[in-house]
């Protein structure tokens, strides 16, 4: 799998610090299961975060201790559960409990225009939503902006927008200033895992009217 689009470094830092809300953390975990580069990056961030924390909690870290910590950046990282996930599976392991029978068996709700959604359950204290979006091959998601941070991970198929082509494993990390109109490529439906902390803002008046009905 060739992954071309990765999370923002600030998103990975928040994941490393454990400060991402559950839906965002799940999208990142799923990307990590599919992206070796980000797993290595996360290992580096974890080491740096640990060193900073040690500096806060204890006496100032000596130069030797810091050198030793930074030296660990070059070492081969230890195996962990994420590292042992199967590659290229339709349902990456972090998502397995949400879709034990596969993506096609989920209770999809048709939203019209070749678009379907499936809301995934999150714990009551989560501040944001986790959902799957399925866009028919060759169909477009209506142009929209974001009321907040949106993380989108491609699980099947691909789409293109003004940021490029996004295929399986790619992640789009958009903040509230972004407007875009993804179009699924021909040949296969595009299924994405999405974490959003606010409703999408559709630009057209028609879509604004429809938004409460379609629920996205």
Least distance (Å) between residue 38 CB and Zn ion: 3
Nearer Cβ to Zn ion (106/171): 171
CB 82 within 8 A of CB 32: yes
Closer CB to Zn ion, residue 35 or residue 216? Answer: 35
Q: Cβ of residue 43: shortest distance to Zn ion, in angstroms?
A: 13
Residue 41, number of CB atoms within 10 A of its CB = 18
Residues found near Zn ion in the complex (CB under 5 A): 6, 35, 38
Query: Measured from the CB of residue 196, what is the shortest distance to Zn ion in angstroms?
Result: 20
SS3 115: strand
Q: Where are the beta strands (DSSP E) in the chain?
A: 109-112, 115-120, 129-135, 144-146, 150-156, 159-161, 164-166, 171-174, 179-180, 183-184, 190-196, 200-202
Q: How far is the CB of 212 from Zn ion (least distance, A)?
A: 35
- Closer residue to Zn ion (CB): 46 or 143: 46
**Residue nearer to Zn ion on the CB measure, 142 or 169:** 169
Q: How far is the CB of 34 from Zn ion (least distance, A)?
A: 8
Closer by beta carbon to Zn ion, 154 or else 200: 154
* CA-based nearest residue to 134, from 199, 211, 189, 202: 189
């Amino acid at each position: 799998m060739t992954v071309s689009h990765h999370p923002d470094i600030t998103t990975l830092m928040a994941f490393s610090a454990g400060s991402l809300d559950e839906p965002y953390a799940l999208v990142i975990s799923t990307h990590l299961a599919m992206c070796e580069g980000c797993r290595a990056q996360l290992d580096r961030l974890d080491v740096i975060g640990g060193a900073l924390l040690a500096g806060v909690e204890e006496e100032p870290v000596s130069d030797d201790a810091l050198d030793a910590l930074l030296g660990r950046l070059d070492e081969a990282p230890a195996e962990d559960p994420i590292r042992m996930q199967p590659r290229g599976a339709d349902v990456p392991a972090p998502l397995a409990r949400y879709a034990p029978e596969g993506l096609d068996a989920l209770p999809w709700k048709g939203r019209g225009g070749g678009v379907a959604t499936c809301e995934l359950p999150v714990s009551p204290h989560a501040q944001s939503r986790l959902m799957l979006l399925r866009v028919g091959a060759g169909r477009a998601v209506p142009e929209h902006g974001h009321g907040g941070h949106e993380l989108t991970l491609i699980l099947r198929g691909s789409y293109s927008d003004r940021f490029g082509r996004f295929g399986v494993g790619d992640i789009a990390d958009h903040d509230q200033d972004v407007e875009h109109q993804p179009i699924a490529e021909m040949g296969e439906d595009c299924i994405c895992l999405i974490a959003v902390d606010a409703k999408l803002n559709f630009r057209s008046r028609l879509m604004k009217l429809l938004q409460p009905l379609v629920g996205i």
